[in-house]
């Protein structure tokens, strides 16, 4: 019985080392993580309309544009966040 417990513990630790999460933790898709980061970057809520996303993008671009002291990377990140959130909208709302 003790061997089984030790073996199970080792298997769990190896799983954690290889996969990067515990076996009982739910897997979070990278797309969901990207959508969460995009919403946080633009400051919009879940279910935001197209107009809200575009307005938030315009506000962010006004802050991070290279002419205003921002960088090209920040502009690209803002554009990617906008595009990702617009892609998530149902087709009839785009």
pLDDT tens per residue across span 70-80: 899 999 999 99
29-65 burial by CB neighbour count: b if 16+ within 10 A, else e? eeeeeebeebbebbebeeebeeeebeebbeebbeebe
The topology under which CATH files domain 25-93 is Helix Hairpins (1.10.287)
Contact between 53 and 82 (Cβ < 8 Å): yes
pTM: 0.68
pLDDT tens-place string over residues 42-51:
999 998 999 9
Token pair of 65 as six digits: 């544009």
């Amino acid at each position: 019985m003790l061997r089984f417990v030790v073996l199970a513990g080792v298997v769990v630790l190896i799983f954690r080392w290889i996969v990067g999460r515990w076996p009982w933790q739910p897997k979070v898709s990278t797309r969901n993580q990207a959508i969460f980061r995009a919403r946080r970057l633009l400051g919009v809520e879940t279910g935001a309309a197209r107009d809200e996303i575009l307005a938030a993008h315009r506000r962010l671009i006004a802050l991070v544009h290279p002419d205003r002291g921002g960088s090209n990377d920040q502009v690209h990140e803002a554009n990617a966040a906008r595009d990702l959130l617009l892609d998530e909208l149902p087709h009839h709302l785009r």
